[in-house]
Amino acid sequence: MLARIEIAWRWLVTAFSYLMFGLGGLMFSIVAVPVLFCLPGGKPARTRRTQQSLHFLLRAYVRMMRLLGVVTYQIEGIEKLQGSRLILANHPSLLDVVFLIAMVPNACCVVKGKLTRNFFTRGPIRTAGYIINEAAADVIDAAARAMAAGQTLIIFPEGTRTDPARASLHFRRGAANVAIRTVSAITPVLIYCQPAGLTKNQRWYQVPAKRMHLRFLVMDQYSIDHYLNDPPSRGARNLSADLMDYFSSELKAHG
């Protein structure tokens, strides 16, 4: 009986959390975006202010979810994110990007184009200058501009949430292409989610039997200097394969 009550409560607070996320995105578009456009400084200042605003709002959102009992979480090595230019992470849950933005005040994310067509998310995404993952060459150029402006780029090399049916991770080459053209080192973040929740094939209302626990482990910087000696296409191919092996082995070692 108590277990059923707990699941019912978590279903309700999960629904409430989704409602608050959607309403928050809508209110940000209606209220905050016009204010940000009126402030002095032009587009660079507006982008910076929007990213910082989303950082503080999502920090509050994460704390709200913990207070309500939707999730618990653990963050290890967060100090290693200071000064990072490119963060790569695996992607087990829909909440991953929410937590990473809550950790990084100047985050610029590479996002799917369909999010710019979502009524609740398009305003914040466009005003924050997030990069749309459609044309590869455009992504690389936009990533270089973002990092030159002092932003920290967050990319999920899988390109989408991890498929639970896969026995191993599968990285696309886009993240490696960005890396070898923009930085000399990557900050990897390992993300664990137990029990699995909000996965690629799981709806928000499919609440797991136990409360989700998210663990974020920020690793030491991963140098890519030796990949820069190869032609970019070869360097990206080799880096992508090595990163896939690195994440797979480290996730197993620290899990």
What CATH class does 2-254 carry? alpha beta
Residue 136 has pLDDT above 80, yes or no: no
Mean pLDDT of the chain: 93
Query: How many CB atoms lie under 10 A from the CB of residue 215?
Result: 16
The pLDDT value recorded for residue 205 is 81
Q: What is the largest CA-CA distance in the chain?
A: 63
Arithmetic mean of pLDDT, 127-152: 91
Residue 156 has pLDDT above 80, yes or no: yes
Dist. CA 247–CA 255, nearest whole Å? 11
| pLDDT over 90 at 207, yes or no | no
Q: How many residues does the chain have?
A: 255
In the chain, where are the structural domains located? Answer: 2-254
Record the pTM. 0.94
pLDDT digits (tens, 9 = 90+) for 209-233: 889 999 999 999 999 999 999 999 9
Cβ atoms of 250 and 219 closer than 8 Å: yes
pLDDT digits (tens, 9 = 90+) for 75-128: 999 999 999 999 999 999 999 999 999 999 999 999 988 888 888 899 999 999
Predicted pLDDT at 2: 66
